[in-house]
Amino acid sequence: MTVKKFNLPDVGEGLTEAEVVAWKVKPGDVVAINDVLCEIETAKSLVELPSPFAGTVTELLVEEGITVEVGTAIIAVAEGAEGTEGTGDVAPAAPAIEMPLYGKLPADDDHDDNRPAGGPLVGSGPKADAVKRRARKRPAGSVEAATVAENAEGTVQDHQAVLEAKAAEAPASHRTTPARTAVAPVSEAPVAQAPVIQAPSAPATQPAGTPTAASRGAAISGTISGLVNKVLAKPPVRKFARDLGIDLADVVATGQRGEVTREDLVSYQAQRDAEHDQADSFWGASKKPQDQRVERLPVKGVRKATAKAMVESAFSAPHVSIFVDVDASRTMEFVKRLKVSRDFEGIKVSPLLILAKAVIWAAARNPSVNATWVDNADGNGNAEIQVKHYMNLGIAAATPRGLMVPNIKDAQDLSLKELALALNELATKARAGKTQPAEMQGGSLTITNIGALGIDTGTPIINPGEVAIIAFGTIKQKPWVLDGEVIPRWITTLGGSFDHRVVDGDLSARFMADVAAILEEPALLLD
């Protein structure tokens, strides 16, 4: 009795290791050549490893779940009478060959049936039953139809095609599909203890316990289908995917041979986290640490300068605010006529244009709102009020860089059309971030159009160096009492903040009333 050790064969495709998934035999079992010893999993697929020896299993040298390198002994088999006992009639073996029989089985033709196969055998070759069968010669015309074709990637011929080919006694076309289980060669007649698929011409009755051709074909088809959909990945990668809760079928494989790598899993997880964060919109995922859910934005540039100016203004100028509701229905009618006017063709016209003109008109009637409070003007601690006889009209603009207040120089000299063009240019440059610092200096009075955001009114903070600012609320239809009747009208609310050191309650009220009057009746601008 000779004890031989079966080493893990070269699995091909440049792979150097495989995991022993499950043993199909145990010590004391009698095995024949090509009996399945175990299942191994490589980075390519899960395959069955056939025995190159006939004899009795003496020892399993590798436990299930262990990954071993090629050339490592995994099982010991004792060859001798005990190992071949009860095998019946067997095909002549090649006793002079001591190396394992790796590779594909040669097709049954007129050549020597006892020659060893060449190339690595991993899941390749037929899955023989425990009882050996005598090799039989077949007519040349039925050889290809009766033989199950396999290639180095572990593929089998469709059994249905074999049946049809045998029935027709003509060569069948080979349709290959990846498989995880090796299939035994089909013989012309059943051998004791080794049921095979019968040709349609065989007797209708079969021995008890013998699977039908349909049932075996269905089982093989299910196995093949499972392997077709199996994702290639090494065992450590599969474990990593299970830990992350990732389905390998959802991951795009970038491995050299189409396998899923660890990097693929990391990339997929990062993408999934990003999609999750995006789906949650503003709120960060609760599973993340709290410091990772805080976005930090440095304060610099325009926002830093604006913040400093607003703080200085809020704490240096005593603010007083007043509000007034205005029926702007005639302003809306006027704007509508201007939009269809040939003089304003191609020019954007909005109610803000009328408000700007109204502020200029009202400032001329109330000059102190167009002024500046100057501390220590004479160097001796004496303050003074500087009334400006020009209007550099500021328009607050929200930009990605922060709040900006460019101003239209000498706005009092512009016609309605010229003022409309200036407003369009100012807004365009502000949104594009092309506003120059000089364009934000020397302002006289500011308008902030919060109505564009659907806000009714607010309490604006005075721009530094000025004493007044007007907040223009949204214009929308509301019920309004006119001549004793409640009718829908276009209503807006004006909010004004003033430096109480310069503009007292009386002056601020009169100024706001004048602005409201123009919005109620734009024809007053003709005065």
Catalytically active residues are 500
C-alpha separations of 424 from 256, 307, 350, 397, 428 in Å: 58, 26, 10, 12, 6
DSSP bridge partners of 261 = none
Q: Are 156 and 148 in contact (CB under 8 A)?
A: yes
- Reduced to 3 states (helix: H, G, I; strand: E, B; else coil), residue 54 is coil
Q: Are 104 and 125 in contact (CB under 8 A)?
A: yes
Distance CA 457, CA 476 (A): 13
Distance CA 469, CA 89 (A): 109
- Reduced to 3 states (helix: H, G, I; strand: E, B; else coil), residue 215 is helix
Residues 6+ apart with CB under 8 A from 357: 416, 419, 518, 525
What token pair was written down for 496? 């004004």
Distance CA 238, CA 256 (A): 17
C-alpha separations of 102 from 79, 99, 178, 333 in Å: 18, 9, 19, 94
Q: Are 48 and 123 in contact (CB under 8 A)?
A: yes
